[in-house]
Amino acid sequence: MDNVTFIEVQTAMGGLETYAKIDHGNEQYTTMLKSTYDSMQAEQANMIEAAE
């Protein structure tokens, strides 16, 4: 089961960004900006209607 945490990382330009870190187990991870993660989650909530 994936485990999602949110981390704050300082950027090279000095800002602070919040990232989603998804732990898939076995030392496998996916990271992305939290805003990207949130939009992907929203898309998946709308998922699958085959016919237009």
CA–CA separation, 31 vs 24, rounded Å?
A: 11
The residues, ordered by sequence, that sit 6+ positions from 29 with a Cβ below 8 Å of its Cβ are 21, 22, 23
Provide the minimum distance between the beta carbon of 8 and another protein in the complex, in angstroms, as a whole number.
10
Name which position in 3, 4, 30, 38 contacts another protein (CB under 8 A): 30
16 binds another protein (CB under 8 A): no
Residue in the block written with tokens 């950027």: 11
* Positions in the binding site for another protein (CB under 8 A): 7, 9-13, 15, 17, 19, 21, 26-33, 36, 43-44, 46-52
